[in-house]
Structure 1
Amino acid sequence: MSTSPTREGSANAGSSNGLEEKPRLSEHEKKANHIASEQKRRQAIREGFDRLTELVPGLEGQGRSESVVLKKTVDYMRLQLAERRRLVGRIEELGGQVEDGMRR
C-alpha cells in the first residue's frame, strides 16, 4: 500500500484542535476538478446564450455566434428602454405620474 507524498502526515494534522483536516488532493485530482469546473462554467455560458436566443426577437434559429447574440441583445434592450421612455413621456403628457424608479 502506497500513499502519495502530498497526503502523508496531513490526515491527522488538525486533529489536535478537534477538527479533522481533509486530505490534500493529488495533482491528478486537482486537474480533474479544474476541468470539471471549467466544463460547468462553459455549460452555464452556453445555457445563458441559449436563453437569450429565446428571449430576443430575431435570434430564433440563428447560429450560435456569441457576438451576434450579444449585439442583437444590446440593440433590443436599447429599443426597449427607448419605448419605456416614450411611454413615460406619454403618461406624463396625459397628466399621470411616474415613480422616479420607473423613469430609467
Structure 2
Amino acid sequence: MNIELIHKALANPLRRQILVWMKAPREAFASDNAEFACGVPVSAIRQRSGLAQSTVSAHIALLVEAGLLRPTRVGQWSFLTRDERLIRAFAKHLYLHL
C-alpha cells in the first residue's frame, strides 16, 4: 500500500466523488439496462462526470495507480471496481497513525 499515492489520489474532489459513485454503482449509474457484473464501464463514469474523456482517464489512471480501483478489460471495454480490501486497510492505517 502506497500511502502517499493514496493521499495524492484522494486530494482531488472528483476522484473522491468517483469512489463514492463506485460504492453504489446501481444507484450512481442508474440505467434501464445497466449491469455491473464486471464493474462500472469507464464510459459511464465519463458520462456521469460530464468531463472530457482525457480528463476522466487521467483521474481514473491515478486511482488505479494508487490501487483504489481495479481495472478489468473485457473485449474492447474497460470496467472498474473498488478495491475494498485496500480501502479498509488505508482507513485502518489512518485510524492507527493519525
TM over 0.5: no
Normalization by structure 2: what TM-score?
0.29
Structure of greater Rg: 1
Query: Where is the strand percentage greater, Structure 1 or Structure 2?
Result: 2
Q: Structure with the greater relative contact order (CA < 8 A, sep ≥ 6): 1 or 2?
A: 2
